[in-house]
Amino acid sequence: MEVVYILWLRQLKRYVRSRSRIVGSLAQPLLFLVALGFGFGPIYARAGGGNYIQFLAPGVIAMGILFTAMFSGIEVLWDRQFGFLKETLVAPVPRLQVMLGRTLGGATVATLQGTIVFLLTLGVGFRPTHVVQLPLAVVMMFLTAVLFTALGTAVAAVLEDMQGFQLIMNLLVMPLFFLSGALFPLAGLPRAIGLVARIDPLSYGVDGIRGALIGAPHFSLVVDVSVLGVFVAALLAVGSYLFSRMQV
């Protein structure tokens, strides 16, 4: 498992050293919090929904995790281009360990990013109603991060150019986010949209974080953890297979 630790530590060091990356990735969550939180807040309150910031903040936290986790896959392309990936893959270790190390490293970075976004939400008025469940919220954030880091890494394993990766990521990320219930309640949706939301794995990440922070899950925390766990196991298996077939 030494390879897992080395790859995990390498990605964590990359994140800590890149201050511009940390600051730049906070712009979009902050924009959503301020523009949507205060812009739609009065409308949401008049509709009987209560404080929109309270509802929106967990979704924005999940958004910060989603974007950071998915785009961590681009590091696979960088490493392939500059030869580091070849050195890693020729080592006498199972490809599963390589995939696991990269995924855990990217997931740790995404979880840290989600934690920073959580601190931002406190600055705009969000207040968790279940402080004792903050560790559970971190667990839900980490599971969400592992899932989408594995997805991003698996996609990067079958692509060879960064432009194609960015196009695929944009094609995946926006529907995943907007149909996850991050911005609107899942209750009372049209049947087709509700079905898509149930298929969307981010829905369970958003719901788990929201349930842990404000105690208002749409599904249940048991369902959220179970579904995320199944997706994580499946994507790790798929990612390991794609890594085993990857040519460098």
CA dihedral 41, 47, 49, 55 (to 10 degrees): -40
pLDDT at 92: 64
* Whole-angstrom distance, CA of residue 158 vs CA of residue 239: 10
Nearest partner of 80 among 182, 168, 199, 165, judged by Cα = 165
User: Residue 73: what pLDDT?
Assistant: 78
Q: Using alpha carbons, select from 244, 195, 13 the residue that is nearest to residue 106.
A: 13
Tens of pLDDT along the chain (248 residues) come to 666 777 777 777 776 666 666 676 788 888 889 888 888 888 888 877 788 999 999 999 999 999 889 888 777 777 777 666 666 666 666 777 777 888 888 899 899 999 999 999 999 889 998 888 899 999 999 999 999 999 988 888 888 777 777 788 888 898 999 999 999 999 888 899 999 999 999 999 999 999 999 988 989 999 999 999 999 999 988 888 887 777 65
How far apart are the C-alpha atoms of 107 and 150, rounded to whole Å?
8
Query: Which pLDDT score, from 0 to 100, does residue 21 have?
Result: 64
The residues spanned by each domain of the chain are 2-245
What's the predicted TM-score (pTM) here? 0.90
Q: Which residues contact 60 (CB under 8 A, 6 or more apart)?
A: 29, 32, 33, 117, 121, 182
pLDDT, position 115 = 94
Please choose, from the candidates 141, 12, 142, 153, the residue with its C-alpha nearest in 3D space to the C-alpha of residue 79: 153
* Structural contact between residues 88 and 98, judged by C-beta atoms closer than 8 angstroms: yes
User: What is the structure's pLDDT at 153?
Assistant: 87
Q: Write the DSSP assignment of 44-78 as a string of letters.
A: HHHTT---HHHHHHHHHHHHHHHHHHHHTTHHHHH
